[in-house]
Structure 1
Amino acid sequence: MTHDEPGATAWVWHGGTDFRPTEFPLPSPGPGETLVRITAATVCGSDRHTVSGRRSAACPSVLGHEGVGVVVSTRGGRTVDGMPLAPGARVVFGVTRACGECALCQRGLSAKCESVQKVGHEPFDGEWPLSGTYASHILLRPGQAVVTVPPEVTDGPAATAGCAVATVMAMLERAGDLSGRRVLVNGLGMLGLVAVAAARERGADHVLALDFNSERRALAHRLGAVAASPAEGATGTVDVALELSGAPSGVSTCLAALGIGGTAVLAGSVAPAGAVDVDPEWIVRGWRTITGVHNYEPRHLQQAVDFLTRDPHGLPWEEIIGGPVPVGQLAHEFSGHDPGRLRTMVVM
Structure 2
Amino acid sequence: MTSPRWRSDVAAPAPATAVLTPAPAMTDVRLSPAALAKVWIGEGRPHETIAVPGVVLAAGEALVQVELATVCGSDVHTVAGHRAAPMPLVLGHEYVGRVTALGAEGARTVDGSRLNIGDRVTWSIFAACRSCDRCRRGMPQKCRALRKYGHERVEAHWELTGGFATHVHLRAGTAIVRVAEELPGAVLAPAACGTATAWAAVAALDDVVDLDGAVLLISGAGLIGLTATAIATERGARVIVSDPDPRRRQQALRFGAAAVHAPGEDLTDVIAELCESEVHAVLEASGARSAVLAAFDAVAVGGAIALVGSVFPTEAVPLDPERIVRTCLTVRGIHNYAPRDLVDAIAFLRGAAGRYPFAELVGAVLPLSELDDAIALARTGEHVRVGIDPRR
Normalising by the smaller structure, the TM-score range is over 0.9
Deviations 1:233-261 (A, max 9, x none): 43242111100111121111111111121
The answer to whether the 8 Å contact 1:170/1:296 transfers is yes
More deviation in 289-298 or 253-262? 253-262
Per-residue deviation, 1:333: 2.0
TM-score (normalised: structure 1):
0.95
* CA distance, structure 2, for counterparts of residue 12 and residue 216 of structure 1: 31
Match of 1:119 in 2: 149
1:80 lines up with 2:113 in the alignment: no
More deviation in 311-320 or 36-45? 311-320
Match of 2:17 in 1: none
Match of 1:109 in 2: 139
* CA distance, structure 1, for counterparts of residue 123 and residue 387 of structure 2: 17
Structure 1 runs not aligned, ≥5 long: none
The answer to whether the 8 Å contact 1:152/1:309 transfers is no
Match of 1:181 in 2: 214
* CA distance, structure 2, for counterparts of residue 331 and residue 96 of structure 1: 24
Match of 2:79 in 1: 51
The answer to whether the 8 Å contact 1:65/1:132 transfers is yes
* CA distance, structure 2, for counterparts of residue 117 and residue 332 of structure 1: 28
Give the letter aligned to residue 14 of structure 1: I
The answer to whether the 8 Å contact 2:184/2:359 transfers is no
The answer to whether the 8 Å contact 2:282/2:304 transfers is yes
For 1:239-254, list aligned pairs within 5 A: 239-254=280-295
For 1:57-68, list aligned pairs within 5 A: 57-68=85-96
- Residue among 48, 68, 79 paired with 1:20: 48
1:307 lines up with 2:348 in the alignment: yes
- Residue among 334, 342, 347 paired with 2:384: 342
The answer to whether the 8 Å contact 1:169/1:303 transfers is yes
* CA distance, structure 2, for counterparts of residue 11 and residue 55 of structure 1: 19
For 1:244-283, list aligned pairs within 5 A: 244-283=285-324
More deviation in 293-302 or 252-261? 252-261
Match of 1:217 in 2: 249
* CA distance, structure 2, for counterparts of residue 112 and residue 203 of structure 1: 31
Structure with the larger RCO, 1 or 2 (CA within 8 Å, 6+ apart): 1
- Residue among 160, 167, 170 paired with 2:197: 167
Give the letter aligned to residue 329 of structure 2: R
- Residue among 256, 276, 279 paired with 1:238: 279
Deviations 1:205-254 (A, max 9, x none): x1111000100001112223100101114324211110011112111111
Per-residue deviation, 1:3: 5.9
Per-residue deviation, 1:285: 2.0
The answer to whether the 8 Å contact 1:122/1:129 transfers is no
Match of 1:228 in 2: 261
Aligned residue-pair number: 347
* CA distance, structure 1, for counterparts of residue 91 and residue 165 of structure 2: 9
* CA distance, structure 2, for counterparts of residue 312 and residue 35 of structure 1: 28
Give the letter aligned to residue 224 of structure 1: G
TM-score (normalised: structure 2):
0.85
* CA distance, structure 1, for counterparts of residue 266 and residue 312 of structure 2: 24
- Residue among 23, 31, 35 paired with 2:59: 31
Q: Which has the larger radius of gyration?
A: 2
Match of 2:225 in 1: 192
Counterparts in 2 of 1:139 and 1:233: CA distance versus 1, 3 Å: farther
More deviation in 306-315 or 172-181? 306-315
Match of 2:361 in 1: 320
Counterparts in 2 of 1:60 and 1:132: CA distance versus 1, 3 Å: same
* CA distance, structure 1, for counterparts of residue 326 and residue 205 of structure 2: 19
Give the letter aligned to residue 166 of structure 2: S
1:141 lines up with 2:171 in the alignment: yes
Structure 2 runs not aligned, ≥5 long: 1-26, 269-276
